[in-house]
Structure formats: C-alpha cells, structure tokens
Amino acid sequence: MYKKIGVKILKQLGMKKNQENKFPYLEVYNELFSADSIRNKKFYNIGAGTFRHPNWTNVDYSTDWYSKSQERSIFINFDLQSLEKLPIDDNTAEIVYSSHTIEHITDKAAQNLFNEVYRILKKEGILRITAPNIDLDYRAFINRDTSYYYWIDTYSSPRNYNRIKIRKPMNQASLHQIFLYHFAAQVSELHMDETIPKISDKELEGLFATLEYEEALTHCTSRCSLDIQNKNPGNHINWWNEKKTTQMLKKTGFEDIYSSRFGQSVSPVLRNTNIFDCTQPKISFYIEARK
C-alpha cells in the first residue's frame, strides 16, 4: 500500500516512473512520522539547490547564480545572510538537513541559522550538516597533494572557469591559490573582483607560519566582503570542520551532537545516498545534532 501511495505522489509531482527508484525510503516516512508531518512536509533542506523530494520542503535563496539549479523548484525563499527568523513555526520540524551551504555564509549567519534550526525542531528532531572539511584541504595543501583538488580539471575548461568567474584556468594557478579559493575565494588571486587586496602565495605561507592554524584560516575569511559575496553567492567565504561546527551547535543549545559519516545517519530516511550526502563526499565531514 505504501509503495502505491509513493508512486501516486511521484505522479502528482510530474516525475517519471523510473524516478521512483530514487525514493526507495518513502514507506519509512509512514512508519516513523505522523500523517501531519508528511502531508505538510515538515522536513526541511536548507540550501537545497537541485534537491527534490515529495516529503520535503526546500529552503533556498533565489539568485541569478543559482537560477539554473532552481528552475521549476518550489522553495521558501530565504536569505541566510539576512539574520532573520526562518518562516517556520517553533517545535514543528522533524528533520533539518543542510549540505554544502554554510561555507557560503559568515559565522554570524551560520550561528543564526543553527539557532533557528534549534527553535523550529521538535523535541528529538534531528539536524544533519555536511560541508567541505578544511582539515582535509589543508593537509592536501601542505603535502602538495594536487590530486586531492580533483575539481581543478573541471574548472580549467573555458566554459566552466568563465561560469564561476575566475581569472584563468584553475590548472594554471598555484596550489596556494587553489587552496585559498576553496575557503576564502575573494582573497585568492583567482577571483575576478579587484576591490579588495589578494593574498599572495608568500603571504599565505607567512600567515600559517606565524599564526595558529584556526587564526590563519579566520584571518583569510575575515578579509572577504559580504557585498562581493552577494554578487557571487556561489563562492566559499568560510571554513568548517567538526570542531568548529560542534562548538557553534553547543552555543545554540544542542547537547546531543555527534560525528557521522557518509550515509550513516541516525535517521533511516537520511541514509538514502541517492539524494543525501551525495555532494563531494570525498572532501566532506558530517555532523548531526538531536534536540
């Protein structure tokens, strides 16, 4: 019966029959959650992009940069940088998921987001966060492990490096600038904007030689401009790892915070790796928190 209901929902969404295989967990929602939560889609993907699921509500921000991925998508239009309240009632959300979003916003905006997620989650509700792991980036940088940055070739074709507005093919840049671009894009010499000073290879090495690791990272991101980011929202302007994320979630009020891995959520519905955790798993970390 549940499978038939799932197929009916997919048809109502205009999806093809073979797309049913993408949602093998539909019946699990009926087993775990109330009819009200399912009917009213009290499962929220923040920074959803191309994500689509019949039981989930997307939260995203409409911009020209992401217009292609947002085509034909219905979502709550919300600017995380606004520091406003999410337009969602207190204690109503079952699950909140956010993948590769917090690296695009400031610490202040991320803390507001975590505060808001805590507010909207039901008791025992789950937050799952995944983002690029700066510790892996840095290790590859100091080891001169160019192959770690597997996206270099992708952004070396004219079509792609022009699309993300960098000065030249990425394979013509130093590893210093490629590393820097991945967490503080605006101050990399690859970035097109000329209104703020760039960090040279020599200066970058000096920062990590004279400052503590996290201080050096934050020095780089602190030089990024929110005005420039508003014009280039696809850029990364922040660094994250498990330690920093855990510290900020604790400030919010979460006490049950734990490290996770690809596809290993405590929630059965989040283990569907066809649609969750599928963005750059080789370079990501995964954190969950239960209210």
Tell me what pLDDT residue 7 has: 38
Tell me what pLDDT residue 4 has: 34
Evaluate if residue 19 carries a pLDDT over 50.
Answer: no
Q: Per CATH, the architecture of 2-131+240-290 is what?
A: 3-Layer(aba) Sandwich (3.40)
Kindly indicate the confidence band of residue 62, based on its pLDDT and cuts at 50, 70 and 90.
confident
pLDDT, one tens digit per residue, over 159-186 is 988 888 899 999 999 999 999 999 999 9
Asked which of 50-54, 137-141, 253-257 is least confident by mean pLDDT, the reply is: 50-54
Evaluate if residue 11 carries a pLDDT over 50.
Answer: no
Kindly indicate the confidence band of residue 65, based on its pLDDT and cuts at 50, 70 and 90.
low
Question: Is residue 270 a contact partner of residue 123, using CB atoms and an 8 Å limit?
Answer: no
pLDDT, one tens digit per residue, over 66-92 is 666 656 677 799 999 999 999 999 999
What is the rounded average pLDDT of the residues 201-214?
Answer: 98
What is the rounded average pLDDT of the residues 177-201?
Answer: 97
Evaluate if residue 224 carries a pLDDT over 70.
Answer: yes
Claim: this prediction has a pTM higher than 0.75: yes
- The residue that leads in pLDDT, 2 or 33, is 33
Q: Which residues pair with 197 in a beta bridge?
A: none
Q: How many whole angstroms from its chain centre is CA 36?
A: 28
- Could you give the CA distance from residue 121 to residue 291 in angstroms, rounded to a whole number? 7
What is the rounded average pLDDT of the residues 207-232?
Answer: 97
Question: Is residue 26 a contact partner of residue 9, using CB atoms and an 8 Å limit?
Answer: yes
Handedness of CA 104, 109, 113, 115 (dihedral sign): positive
- Could you give the CA distance from residue 231 to residue 247 in angstroms, rounded to a whole number? 30
Tell me what pLDDT residue 70 has: 58
Where does the chain hold its CATH 3.40.50 domain(s)?
2-131+240-290
In three state form, how does the secondary structure of the chain look?
A: CHHHHHHHHHHHCCCCHHHHHHCCCHHHHHHHCCHHHHHCCCEEEECCCCCCCCCCEEEECCCCCCCCCCCCCCEEECCHHHCCCCCCCCCCEEEEEEECCHHHCCHHHHHHHHHHHHHHEEEEEEEEEEEECHHHHHHHHHCCCHHHCCCCCHHHCHHHHHHCCECCCHHHCCHHHHHHHCCCHHHCCCECCCCCCCCCHHHHHHHHHHCCHHHHHHHHHHCCCHHHHHHCCCCCCCCCCHHHHHHHHHHHCCCEEEEECCCCCCCHHHHCCCCCCCCCHHHEEEEEEEC
Token digits of residue 2: 């549940």
- Could you give the CA distance from residue 69 to residue 56 in angstroms, rounded to a whole number? 17
Tell me what pLDDT residue 268 has: 96
Question: Is residue 291 a contact partner of residue 122, using CB atoms and an 8 Å limit?
Answer: yes
- The residue that leads in pLDDT, 18 or 227, is 227
Tell me what pLDDT residue 1 has: 30
The pLDDT > 70 percentage for the chain reads 88
Provide the CB-side half-sphere exposure for 207 (13 A, CA). Answer: 17
Evaluate if residue 56 carries a pLDDT over 50.
Answer: yes
What dihedral do alpha carbons 149, 152, 153, 157 form, nearest 10°? 160
Per the prediction, the chain carries an average pLDDT of 91
- Could you give the CA distance from residue 15 to residue 25 in angstroms, rounded to a whole number? 16
Tell me what pLDDT residue 278 has: 94
